[in-house]
Amino acid sequence: MQNSIIICPIGSVNIEILKYLGECLTNQCGFEYRISSAMGNPDYAYNESRSQYNSKTILKHLIENRSYNTFRLIGVTDVDIYVPILKYVFGLAQLEGQCAIISLYRLRPCFYDQPPNFNILLGRAEKTIIHEIGHTFGLTHCRKRSCVMYSSSRIEDTDFKEPCFCPTCNELFKWHLTAVNKVNTGR
């Protein structure tokens, strides 16, 4: 399956969320997807002093364990992730690479003392996975606050964004996708 994204649960992740995210990638980006078997909890990345998981360590693990012919591999986890210079992140991706990870942990309304709302969680997860897939195609953060590529340093940023690229980022995404396809087909 050329241009097929593999969605890999890391630890226990609700299958309905994984399927929803796959459909979002199909609808927004035109990719087929498949859900792989789960990787175990990322205990290897746990930082006891922070009570969080190092997203760079998890991303490195995904990179090292992907198949050689993987188009894109996106890990989805329920654990709280961070990068060393930030308190937390919603996701992390290789810029112009094949792998990314998103965390559902801080996307859940209950994390912010709000009632559980599955639809809000799905909307936030959709924006996060599209944002991270954009990074794997070389897109950087956009200045347009409603663009999915706008940097989300707070959940309010994620909530404000649309689940799609702005016109400029969309053109860049298509250009990068065309370039990747030419490299993969040797044209």
Which of 5, 68, 12, 72 has its CA nearest to residue 38?
12
- How far the first Cα of the chain sits from its last, in Å, is 19
Beta strands in 31-90 (DSSP E): 32-35, 46-47, 52-54, 72-77, 81-82
Q: Are 137 and 116 in contact (CB under 8 A)?
A: no
Q: Which of 23, 64, 126, 132 is catalytic?
A: 132
32 is catalytic: no
Burial classification of residue 105, based on how many CB atoms lie within 10 Å of its CB (0-12 exposed, 13-18 middle, 19 or more buried) = middle
> Which residues participate in catalysis according to the annotation?
132
